[in-house]
Amino acid sequence: MNEYLFLERFEKYLEKKGYSKFTPSGLPSTAYDYSQVRIPFILRNEQIDITELMLNIDYYVSIYDLEGAKEFLGNKSHRAVINALKRFREYCNSELFRK
């Protein structure tokens, strides 16, 4: 699966859910951060591809969430890493993704 394309679709999904791509001052915001920074961070940190993350998303959420082995990383930047993983899980489970 093309990682770039998949992350672009994830970003569009977040925008449709009401997350902003840019702040009013033009800086990158949540949709961009989750899709272009946080999820790629997980992929690099775990040395996995997007398909692996998608297929085992519950496992990765559990290890980055509270009481998980990598909770300290999940908590970075006001829990942006774990929140990005949780939104990614929603995206993978959404009807939008299945179509």
Q: For residue range 1-27, what is the model confidence (pLDDT) as tens digits?
A: 689 999 999 999 999 999 998 888 988
**Terminus-to-terminus CA distance in the chain, angstroms?**
15
**Rounded CA separation 10/91 (Å):** 7
pTM, two decimal places: 0.90
Above pLDDT 70, what percent of the chain? 94
- Residue 9 structure tokens: 């679709």
**Rounded CA separation 75/93 (Å):** 23
pLDDT in tens, 57-69: 999 999 999 999 9
Any long-range contacts for 52-57 (C-beta under 8 Å, 24+ apart)?
A: 53/88, 54/1, 54/6, 54/92, 57/85, 57/88, 57/89, 57/92
